[in-house]
Amino acid sequence: MSTSQPTERTILFSYLALAAGVICMGFSGIFVKWANAPGPVTGFYRMIIVVLLLAGPFWRRVRRRPQPGASWWSRFPRSATRIALLSGLFFACDLTLWNTGILLSGATNPTLMGNTSPLWVGIGAYFLFREKLGRHFWLGLGLALAGAVLILGLDALRGFSLGLGTSLGLFAGMFYGAYFLATQRSRQTLDSLTAFWLAAASSTVVLLLFCLVARLPLLGYSMKSYLSFLGLGLIVHGLGQFAFSYALGYLPASLVSPAGLGQPIVTALLAVPLLGETITRGQIVGGLAVLTGIYIVHRSRQRPRRSAALARG
């Protein structure tokens, strides 16, 4: 949060930005469904738009020499750069699984499962960084997983493709958690723009390779598909992430980060009129369990220092 005392108007604008960010990200699953293209293809177009948008600012940042006589290559410490590129691989896998899951079972459940990433971040921090986790973390984890099992079971009973799509969303959440952990590590050395752009560029290349290996066409889609690609790149990844970053500058991370849990709720509400999806009582019960569990996990790992908002888009 900003060290200078923000005005009431700034605080109000920050809350509005936070709400706008949640709504923008809530459209993510809607755009993926509207695109109606293979998961890696949708992910590729989304990321290449982001890479091109930030290419100018990234290049200007790189050309600034950190000190007289230093090469611009010094902006890229080898270890941190490798980790940033690795995080891009994780994000490419996340998008591929999540996009494919939405095509199979709709926008609501895969988006909810994709937002379980805080659970996997906590588990990863426990095993990789020996971070101590209190009983509230495990309570939240158990509650969220119980809700996930309920939703997965209900979808499996309704049809194989529905269960598979929801399962892919859960695996996507794991990869997004890995992306977040890797990004945190690369940010210990790299500035935010450099780390983000390197990860985005890496994701773009990996997604392109996925498309080529699977022989998925990159052209020949409808105008609705291309407009949906633009929506994912500009509205979701551009405006949505920017709004969250702006809010983090003036509001405590303990408020901004859990606000990301509003994304699957917005997606579910939008999916009813825009995609014709229905929400059952079982989904509501399971969804509430998942979101409550994730919130408990958020609170259990809350720290006084500023942290990034763990909101997927």
Kindly state whether residue 3 falls inside one of the protein's structural domains: no
Residue 136 lies inside a defined structural domain of this protein: yes
For helices 78-105 and 39-63, give the axis angle rounded to 10 degrees: 150
312 within some domain: no
State the Rg of the chain over Cα.
Answer: 19
In a domain, residue 112? The reply is yes
Residue 304 has a pLDDT of 40
Per-residue confidence (pLDDT) for residue 73, from 0 to 100: 59
Question: Do the domain assignments include residue 70?
Answer: no
pLDDT of residue 241: 83
How much is the pLDDT for 287? 94
> Which domain covers residue 52, as residue numbers?
8-63+76-300
The count of structural domains within the chain is 1
Residue 269 lies in a domain: yes
In this structure, of 13-22, 213-222, 285-294, 296-305, the range with the lowest mean pLDDT score is 296-305
Residue 80 in this model has a pLDDT that exceeds 60: yes
Q: Are 290 and 110 in contact (CB under 8 A)?
A: no
Q: pLDDT band at residue 307, thresholds of 50, 70 and 90?
A: very low
Q: What are the residues whose beta carbons fall under 8 Å from the beta carbon of 259, sequence distance 6 or more?
A: 18, 21, 22, 247, 309, 311
In a domain, 306, yes or no: no
Question: What pLDDT is stored for residue 90 in this prediction?
Answer: 97
Question: How far, in Å, CA of 200 to CA of 252, rounded?
Answer: 26
